[in-house]
Structure 1
Amino acid sequence: MIRTILTYLLAIFYAYAGYRHIVGPEPFLSITPGWVPAPEAVILLTGIAEIAGAIALAQPWSCKLRQAGGVGLALYALCVWPANINHMMMDMASADGGFGMGYHVPRMIAQPIIIWLALWCGRVTDWPFRKHG
């Protein structure tokens, strides 16, 4: 039951984030590392990827599609980690200290948890809840 609830919550989170990437890309563009080519197109495509992953993760009728959504969202979270690190470095270097370590440290810690959660909700892994017997 908890896995199902978290699956739908994660899908809603990613669907909303994808929507925000598409309709209001400015905050995402501002934290995109300079080495990313065509950042506007990348932000648009990441929004589309988040929405597609959310749809795949949330549907109950195809285990393979749900697993693909989980893997895709986990890979997405891994790939955007450099933007989050870039945001932290830019923010902490600002004159006012930006959001501060109280914001950025939990965000950095959350990233691997979000990666795991996408895999767990996608039924790609049962770790660490696998029953031994």
Structure 2
Amino acid sequence: MRPNHPTGTWRRRLRIGLSIFYGLAGILHIAWPAPFLTITPGWVPMPQIVILATGVCELAGAVGLWNRRTLRLAAIGLALYAVCVYPANIKHAFDGLTATDVNLLTWVYHVPRLALQPVIVWLPLFASGLVTWPLAGLFRTPDPKPSLD
């Protein structure tokens, strides 16, 4: 891929943004697990260990996005991670939307958050070059390989 290819630019920006996002989220999961424990479904065994493990996975994914050798594995891991935490997002939304003090901001946060989960799954896959859909037709020149430039 040429260094100034538009897809490469977007992928690079997404990798940086995702790395920052998942790095911060990983730190929060490890340093301040209490809020994450409250949204963990009751059927999850050993929730404290699971929250710690999710933080480690987020940090590993964030770091993996910076290395060409681990880029695709990190992207797949982060996509799978987003699928695995979806039950916690559903519980968080259900708890928030069924509370007695529900307001417009609660709806504005939870409904788009749940609806956009497939995008959150897709983002690391696109950033790594594993998928191009649905953006493949937006750029005129082919984008064969991801670049860490």
Q: CA RMSD in A?
A: 1.6
Alignment of 1:117-132 (within 5 A): 117-130=123-136
Identity fraction in percent = 45
Residue 41 of structure 1 is matched in structure 2 by 49
Residue 73 of structure 2 is matched in structure 1 by 68
1:79 pairs with 80, 84, 101, which one?
84
2:29 pairs with 21, 30, 51, which one?
21
- The count of aligned residue pairs is 130
Structure 1 residues 82-128: Cα deviation after superposition (integer angstroms, max 9, x where no partner): 00000111111111016521110111122111100011112211112
Structure with higher helix content: 1
Distance (Å, rounded) in 2 between the aligned partners of 1:56 and 1:102: 32
- Return the index of the structure with the highest Cα Rg: 2
Letter in 2 for 1:54: A
Q: Which runs of 4+ in 1 moved over 6 A?
A: none
Letter in 1 for 2:82: A
Q: Which moved more, 1:113-122 or 1:41-50?
A: 113-122
Gaps of 5+ in 1: none
Distance (Å, rounded) in 1 between the aligned partners of 2:135 and 2:18: 19
Gaps of 5+ in 2: 1-8, 143-149
Letter in 2 for 1:66: L
Contact 1:70–1:123 under 8 Å retained in 2: no
The TM-score, its normalising length taken from structure 1, stands at 0.91
Distance (Å, rounded) in 2 between the aligned partners of 1:96 and 1:36: 27
1:10 pairs with 14, 18, 40, which one?
18
Contact 2:10–2:127 under 8 Å retained in 1: no
